Each structure stands twice: as C-alpha cells, then as structure tokens.
Amino acid sequence: MSTESSLSISFEFFPPRTEVGEEKLRLVRDRLAERSPHFFSVTFGAGGSTREKTFGTVQNVRESGVDTAPHLSCISSERSDLSDLLKRYQDVGIERLVALRGDMPSGSMGVGDFRYASDLIQFIREETGDHFKLSVAAYPECHPQSDTIEKDVSRFVDKVKAGADMAITQYFFNADAYFHFVDRVRAKGCDVPIIPGIMPITNYSKLARFSELCGAEIPRFARRQLEAYGDDTQSLQAFGQEFVTKLSQQLIDGGAPGIHFYTLNQAEPSLAILDGLSLPR
C-alpha cells in the first residue's frame, strides 16, 4: 500500500554491523519501499568511521528503487577524502545528501579541515555545483552546544544561504517547539521545507540516554508514564505509539511538509505511526 500523499515521507537507517543485520535491513527496506517514500537516508559514523559501511548500506537500500541520501559529516575529515567520496557518490548516481558537521571528536582525533556544516555545504557546492539536493539538520529545541536559540536559528539560516535545499529536524516530543522554530526561521526570510524528524518509542532506557545527549526533552508526563511501565514492553510501546502518532498528526495538521522517521532499522514502529495518521492526499 502506498501512502499516496503529497507529504514528504522518508525513513532513516544506520549501517548494520553484521551480515545478519544487512540481511534484515533488506527486508525492512522492502516493507518500507511499499509505501513509496520520497527517500531513504543512511547515517555516517563520526569522523568517517562508517565511511565504507555507509557506502555499502546506501547501495543495499537503493536496490529497493527508492531514492537514497547518504549522510555525510565533515568534522575530523580532510577535504581530499570528502572530495573523493562525493565523486564516488556522483559516479554511482546518488543525487541527494544529508550534510552535517557531526559530533565533536574526543581524545586525540583532530578537528580536520571543516568546522561547521555550513563549511561542508559550501565545499559540496564548490565541488559539485547543483548536482546534489542537500538536506541539513535543524534543532527545534536548540542544538545542545548553542548559547541561544537566536544564534542557533541564524546559523541554521547560514546553512541554507550556503546552499542547503531543505532540513530534517532532530527528534522532539513537543509540537510547539517545531512551530516556534519554523516561525523564527520564516521571520528571517528563509522558506526551505523543514521536515520534522520523528522517533518511534520502543525502548525507554535507550531513548532517555540518547535524548539527554542530543537535547530532546521528553515531557514529564510521558517520562513518568514510560518509567512506570518498567519491563512491560507491550504497554510501553502501545503508549509510545499513541503518543508519537498524536504528535505527528499535530505537526501535519499544523502544516509540516512531511515526516522523517528515525527507524533504527525496524519497519513496524514507523509503519504503526504512519498507519495511524490521516494524511492530506
């Protein structure tokens, strides 16, 4: 069944570590491809650590016929390496990228030739012109390293000025944060589509840990409810599905141009949310 909607529906994967994981991802991608998504995307490990795996996973998920966007982060990378990678993607017919800074390196790893995602976008445009449709990251609840929302919004707009075509947000659980962010961006005369990133809830302890790191706030009532389920995974997932479906519907009803699912390489949680939505045709 296709979604047959004018909205941009997309699904994100990470490169599996094992062959079993690759095999499982083939089944997941085929199930999700039945919904005719606008695109798939595949993450890129910090400092290029999954460079080859990302490349391989992109080839894997593209076999489904869905347009696929590799993520590319620039921190701790050299210009020549990124230039080679861009050329390889061009040679195999990739036309979209998600361009990121990546998380700052710890330990002895250097910062490399780029400091911010806007530098990477400028570089991609210099190297490859308009070949790639470029998405960038957006943070409705403010990037954790940003001092103020004002600065974060301005830096987001700088990425668009450098050549980004659209944005995908960090996940969040509060629709007002998204609408506030979009209003601030529009007030600066920037009108690129900003697609909300949606995280299905399947495992509370992992979600809590990751949300702490990336600055996504879990509302108190939802946190308390999720905590209360303890090992009762079924109830936790049922609550999570209802909660995230409601959030997604609010975003669509309020004018969000699509939904980008952080699938964590599983089809069911994202499909359960998608099936619960009434989408404009």
Ligand X SMILES: Cc1cc2nc3c(=O)[nH]c(=O)nc-3n(C[C@H](O)[C@H](O)[C@H](O)COP(=O)(O)OP(=O)(O)OC[C@H]3O[C@@H](n4cnc5c(N)ncnc54)[C@H](O)[C@@H]3O)c2cc1C
Catalytic residues: 12
Give the angle subtended at the CA of 48 by the CAs of 44 and 52, to the nearest 5°.
75
- Closest approach, Cβ 46 to ligand X, in A, equals 5
Q: In the range 212-271, which residues lie near ligand X by CB under 6 A?
A: none
Contact status: 155 vs ligand X (CB under 6 A) = yes
The residue within the footprint of ligand X, chosen from 71, 112, 240, 258 (CB under 6 A), is 71
Contact status: 53 vs ligand X (CB under 6 A) = no
- Closest CB to ligand X among residues 28, 120: 120
Q: Cβ distance 79 to 123 under 8 Å?
A: yes
SS3 167: strand
Q: In the range 99-128, which residues lie near ligand X by CB under 6 A?
A: 100-103, 116-118
Residue 141: CB atoms within 10 A of its CB come to: 22
SS3 170: strand
- Closest CB to ligand X among residues 5, 43: 43
- Closest CB to ligand X among residues 100, 190: 100
Contact status: 145 vs ligand X (CB under 6 A) = yes
- Closest approach, Cβ 177 to ligand X, in A, equals 13
Q: Cβ distance 131 to 95 under 8 Å?
A: yes
Contact status: 51 vs ligand X (CB under 6 A) = no
Q: Can you list the alpha helix ranges (DSSP code H) found in 49-148?
A: 51-62, 79-91, 117-128
Looking at beta carbons, which pairs linking 212-218 to residues 24 or more positions away fall under 8 Å? Answer: 213/144, 214/144, 214/170, 214/171, 215/139, 215/141, 215/142, 215/143, 215/144, 215/170, 216/141, 216/170, 216/171, 216/172, 216/173, 217/141, 217/172, 217/173, 217/174, 218/173
- Closest CB to ligand X among residues 43, 237: 43
- Closest CB to ligand X among residues 111, 228: 111
Interface mask toward ligand X for 184-203; x: CB under 6 A: -------------x------
The residue within the footprint of ligand X, chosen from 152, 163, 258, 267 (CB under 6 A), is 152
Total residues interacting with ligand X, rule: CB under 6 A:
24
Q: Cβ distance 128 to 82 under 8 Å?
A: no
In the complex, the residues that contact ligand X under the rule CB under 6 A are: 43-44, 46, 71, 73, 98, 100-103, 116-118, 137, 143, 145-146, 151-152, 155, 159, 168, 170, 197
